[in-house]
């Protein structure tokens, strides 16, 4: 059995151990020391770091040291999984040839073996504190060396690096598939006659030079490859898109060099699980609104690491991901003892307490669902740049949308909604779809909110639950009351959605709303025309003019790409 206590920090030199607590009644009395023999010694010590006591039952010093050694072996069991540290014994009275071959000169002699290689023996005092300090230091060295070996190092050989010439490369469909499989690729879909494309080209070429050796910067002439551009959904020029294997992300921000560079830099980090230490953690929390942390240990499999990297790829670097095997982080995050083979944490809102965790082994579906659920901060503002990623996402998310006031009042409402979101992420229903909490300025976008969800400006703050793949929303609780701006009411709606108890309302697009209104108007005019032909003609002309004006106004609002909660990618 393992010791049911919090993991100790084996890397901090200031760690002190309370022997009395370690020897508590929680430790199983039938604990047995690991005995190594001539048949098992080489195989056992070939992997990991081993501290082995060579002793003789006839040795008085061995008998005096036995309680300390036994207690230490019990207390350090958890390190076997975390860092590959083991403790064992060789009875030299029974295994004389083995002790002679290991060069044992006296008893008890403590030998250190690292991945099968013998190191200088322990020469310190045989007290608990001195022996523990030695173990902590050697285990820290071993963990550090394996972190360096396993980290995402180097950039490969020069010939394997992307964009070696620092130039924009024009490609066709076949070349596109080749580049996409090599790694992240930034692609501009353009037309030679497009004025905005011509204006962008110098900036795009400067970006290619800046990303030399880091990222392939490509372009597709949609006049020459029209069918290909249509097949990948290009609707306007220029369209800038980042590809990586089976993922894609459209760039919807400003076309300045600095903004494009930020977008490109994020994509370059897509394959990286950046190694960190315990001392880096607080700064990472302060500087990242949302991030993932993958804790590995000695038992972590290569397959698990690959699966985590693959699941993080669709984020295209938009959310940082870190990895560590620092035992101090296991202690800080209160990981159980013994720990799982590895564990993935999600953090949000600059908080050091994780909002979710996933232990391994885990299925591919559960891993993807975990990442999709937590890829946004606990509460995120809906804007033109992220509208498509949230409201039309392939993840088919359920969105809890809060419409808030401006100013100080709105800040208080935002804080309240954030607390509801945190409570849901820690203890809410496990939907098959991710559930995201989103807020929007209800005063600035009052017209859009009223048209889409029936939210009036006088009703702020308000909230609706949106089933994005079905283009439907819910605004009533299981109890049949209008949803109010509090956690109990919001949770009731989510529960009703999960249980399929509630009847949804349909969200109409701008064009559908305009068409429905026009159809109703024309039907009424048809009835009037029977009795008043001249009046009907005047009303018809007026209605058509009003309809055209409304569509122009709504469509003009829809195509904005800066600051609107529903704007899409720039297609000019």
Res. 3: pLDDT tops 90: no
Nearest to 117 by CA among 102, 129, 128: 102
Q: What's residue 2's pLDDT?
A: 37
Lowest mean pLDDT among 192-206, 373-387, 476-490: 373-387
Task: Say if residue 30 is in the same domain as residue 146.
Answer: yes
Nearest to 323 by CA among 349, 339, 342, 298: 342
What DSSP state is assigned to residue 160? G
Task: Say if residue 52 is in the same domain as residue 136.
Answer: yes
Say if residues 325 and 295 touch (Cβ distance below 8 Å).
Answer: yes
DSSP β-bridge partners for residue 51: 87, 112
The helix/strand count (H/E) of the chain reads as: 20, 20
Say if residues 187 and 177 touch (Cβ distance below 8 Å).
Answer: no
Mean pLDDT value across residues 260-266: 86
Task: Say if residue 399 is in the same domain as residue 489.
Answer: yes
Nearest to 73 by CA among 125, 124, 2: 2
Mean pLDDT value across residues 143-167: 60
Res. 546: pLDDT tops 90: no
Lowest mean pLDDT among 139-153, 311-325, 368-382: 139-153
Q: Are strands 290-296 and 342-348 parallel, antiparallel or unpaired?
A: antiparallel
Work out the burial of residue 349: count CB atoms within 10 Å of its CB; fewer than 13 is exposed, 13-18 middle, 19 or more buried.
middle
Residue 304 lies in a domain: yes
Task: Say if residue 125 is in the same domain as residue 41.
Answer: yes
- Nearest-5° angle of CA 218, CA 222, CA 227? 115
Q: What's residue 489's pLDDT?
A: 94
310 band by pLDDT with thresholds 50, 70 and 90: confident
- CA gap 437, 420 in Å, rounded: 9
Task: Say if residue 351 is in the same domain as residue 285.
Answer: yes
**Quick check: helix, strand or coil at residue 220?**
strand
Residue 226 lies in a domain: yes
Res. 548: pLDDT tops 90: no
Res. 197: pLDDT tops 80: yes
Task: Say if residue 295 is in the same domain as residue 354.
Answer: yes
Start-to-end C-alpha separation, the chain = 66
- CA gap 406, 417 in Å, rounded: 14
Work out the burial of residue 124: count CB atoms within 10 Å of its CB; fewer than 13 is exposed, 13-18 middle, 19 or more buried.
exposed
Q: What's residue 156's pLDDT?
A: 41
Residue 137 lies in a domain: yes
Kindly report the backbone phi and psi dihedral angles of residue 27, in degrees, each rounded to the nearest multiple of 5, phi listed first.
Answer: -80, 135
In the chain, how many domains are there?
5
Residue 568 lies in a domain: no
566 band by pLDDT with thresholds 50, 70 and 90: very low
Task: Say if residue 25 is in the same domain as residue 146.
Answer: yes
- CA gap 516, 519 in Å, rounded: 5
537 band by pLDDT with thresholds 50, 70 and 90: low
Res. 269: pLDDT tops 90: no
17 band by pLDDT with thresholds 50, 70 and 90: very low
Work out the burial of residue 365: count CB atoms within 10 Å of its CB; fewer than 13 is exposed, 13-18 middle, 19 or more buried.
exposed
387 band by pLDDT with thresholds 50, 70 and 90: confident
- CA gap 6, 29 in Å, rounded: 20
Indicate the average pLDDT of the chain: 80
Q: What's residue 220's pLDDT?
A: 95
Residue 171 lies in a domain: yes
Q: What's residue 540's pLDDT?
A: 64
Task: Say if residue 358 is in the same domain as residue 385.
Answer: no
Say if residues 113 and 49 touch (Cβ distance below 8 Å).
Answer: yes
Say if residues 343 and 357 touch (Cβ distance below 8 Å).
Answer: yes
Q: Which of 116, 150, 184 is the last residue of a domain?
A: 150
Res. 165: pLDDT tops 60: yes
Rg (CA), the chain: 32
139 band by pLDDT with thresholds 50, 70 and 90: confident
Q: What is the pLDDT of residues 446-504, one digit of tens each?
A: 888 998 999 999 999 999 999 988 889 999 999 999 999 999 999 999 999 999 899 99
Residue 511's H or E segment, with its range, is helix 510-531
The tokens describing 170, both together, are: 């024009």
Kindly report the backbone phi and psi dihedral angles of residue 490, in degrees, each rounded to the nearest multiple of 5, phi listed first.
Answer: -65, -45
Q: What's residue 531's pLDDT?
A: 53
Q: Which of 268, 293, 318 is the last residue of a domain?
A: 268
19 band by pLDDT with thresholds 50, 70 and 90: very low
Q: What's residue 386's pLDDT?
A: 72
The tokens describing 266, both together, are: 């994020």
Residues ≥6 apart with Cβ < 8 Å to 264: 186, 207, 210, 211, 214, 215, 217, 242
Task: Say if residue 111 is in the same domain as residue 34.
Answer: yes
CA 295, 299, 302, 303 dihedral sign is negative
Residue 567 lies in a domain: no
Residue written as token pair 């206590």: 5
Q: What's residue 300's pLDDT?
A: 85
319 band by pLDDT with thresholds 50, 70 and 90: confident
What DSSP state is assigned to residue 84? -
Query: What is the domain range of residue 349?
Result: 274-374
Q: What's residue 341's pLDDT?
A: 84
Domain CATH number, residue 84: 3.40.30.10
Nearest to 110 by CA among 74, 62, 63, 157: 62
The tokens describing 454, both together, are: 């029936």
Strands laid side by side in the 247-250 sheet: 169-170, 216-221, 185-190, 239-244, 247-250
Say if residues 75 and 3 touch (Cβ distance below 8 Å).
Answer: yes
Q: Which of 150, 177, 200 is the last residue of a domain?
A: 150
Q: Is 548 left (phi over 0), alpha (psi -120 to 50) or beta?
A: alpha
Q: Tell me, letter by letter, the H, E, C secondary structure of 314-346.
A: HHCCCCCEEEECCHHHHHHCCCCCCCCCEEEEE
Say if residues 414 and 375 touch (Cβ distance below 8 Å).
Answer: no
Q: What is the pLDDT of residues 118-138, one digit of tens each?
A: 998 899 999 999 999 999 888
Q: What's residue 314's pLDDT?
A: 72
Task: Say if residue 145 is in the same domain as residue 103.
Answer: yes
- CA gap 292, 371 in Å, rounded: 9
Mean pLDDT value across residues 95-107: 92
Q: What is the pLDDT of residues 342-354, one digit of tens each?
A: 999 999 888 898 9
% of residues, the chain, pLDDT over 70: 79
Residue 437 lies in a domain: yes
88 band by pLDDT with thresholds 50, 70 and 90: very high
Say if residues 347 and 340 touch (Cβ distance below 8 Å).
Answer: no
Task: Say if residue 135 is in the same domain as residue 103.
Answer: yes
Say if residues 36 and 86 touch (Cβ distance below 8 Å).
Answer: no
Q: What is the pLDDT of residues 20-59, one digit of tens each?
A: 333 333 434 567 899 999 999 999 998 889 999 999 999 9
Res. 522: pLDDT tops 80: no
- Nearest-5° angle of CA 406, CA 410, CA 413? 160
Task: Say if residue 245 is in the same domain as residue 145.
Answer: no
- CA gap 235, 570 in Å, rounded: 10
Residue 3 lies in a domain: no
Bigger pLDDT: 53 vs 5: 53
Lowest mean pLDDT among 61-70, 156-165, 182-191, 436-445: 156-165
């Amino acid at each position: 059995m393992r010791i049911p206590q919090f993991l100790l920090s084996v890397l901090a030199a200031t760690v002190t151990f309370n022997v009395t607590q370690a020897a508590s009644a929680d430790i199983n009395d039938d604990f047995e020391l690991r005995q190594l023999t001539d048949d098992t010694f080489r195989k056992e010590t070939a992997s990991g770091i081993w501290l082995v006591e060579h002793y003789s039952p006839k040795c008085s010093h061995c008998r005096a040291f036995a309680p300390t050694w036994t207690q230490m072996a019990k207390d350090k069991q958890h390190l076997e999984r975390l860092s590959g540290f083991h403790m064992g014994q060789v009875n030299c009275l029974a295994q004389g040839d083995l002790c002679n071959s290991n060069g044992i000169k006296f008893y008890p002699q403590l030998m250190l073996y690292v991945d099968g290689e013998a190191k200088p023996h322990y020469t310190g005092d045989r007290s608990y504190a001195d022996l523990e300090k030695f173990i902590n230091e050697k285990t820290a060295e071993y963990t550090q060396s394996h972190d360096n070996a396993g980290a995402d190092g180097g950039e490969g050989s020069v010939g394997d690096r992307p964009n070696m010439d620092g130039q924009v490369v024009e490609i066709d469909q076949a070349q596109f598939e080749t580049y996409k499989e090599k790694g992240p690729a930034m692609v501009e879909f353009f037309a030679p006659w497009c004025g905005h494309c011509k204006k962008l080209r110098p900036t795009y070429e400067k970006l290619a030079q800046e990303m030399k050796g880091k990222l392939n910067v490509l372009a597709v002439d949609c006049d020459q490859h029209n069918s290909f551009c249509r097949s990948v959904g290009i609707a306007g020029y220029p369209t800038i898109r980042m590809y990586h294997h089976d993922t894609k992300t459209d760039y919807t921000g400003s076309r300045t060099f600095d903004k494009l560079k930020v977008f490109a830099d994020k994509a370059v980090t897509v394959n990286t699980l950046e190694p960190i230490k315990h001392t880096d953690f607080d700064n990472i929390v302060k500087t990242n609104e949302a991030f993932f942390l993958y804790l590995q240990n000695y038992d972590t499999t290569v397959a698990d690491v690959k699966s985590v990297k693959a699941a993080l790829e669709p984020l295209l670097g938009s959310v940082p991901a870190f990895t560590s095997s620092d035992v101090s982080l296991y202690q800080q995050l209160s990981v159980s003892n013994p720990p799982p083979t590895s564990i993935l944490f999600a953090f949000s809102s600059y908080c050091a307490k994780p909002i979710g965790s996933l232990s391994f082994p885990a299925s591919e579906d559960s891993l993807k669902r975990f990442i999709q659920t937590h890829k946004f901060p606990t509460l995120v503002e809906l804007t033109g740049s992220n509208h498509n990623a949230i409201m039309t996402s392939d993840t088919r998310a359920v969105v809890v949308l809060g419409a808030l006031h401006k100013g100080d009042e709105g800040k208080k409402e935002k804080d309240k909604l954030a607390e509801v979101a945190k409570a849901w992420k820690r203890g809410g229903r496990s939907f098959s779809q991710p559930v995201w909490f989103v807020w929007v300025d209800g005063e600035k976008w009052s017209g859009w909110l009223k048209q889409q969800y029936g939210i009036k400006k006088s009703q702020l703050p308000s909230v609706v639950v949106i089933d994005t793949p079905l283009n439907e929303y819910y605004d009533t609780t299981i109890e049949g009351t209008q949803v109010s701006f509090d956690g109990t009411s919001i949770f009731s709606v989510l529960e009703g959605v999960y249980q399929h108890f509630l009847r949804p309302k349909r969200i109409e697009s701008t064009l559908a709303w305009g068409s429905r209104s026009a159809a109703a108007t024309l039907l009424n005019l048809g009835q009037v025309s029977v009795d008043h032909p001249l009046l009907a003609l005047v009303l018809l002309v007026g209605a058509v003019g009003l309809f055209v004006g409304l569509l122009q106004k709504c469509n003009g609002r829809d195509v904005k790409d800066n600051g609107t909660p529903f704007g899409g990618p720039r297609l000019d």
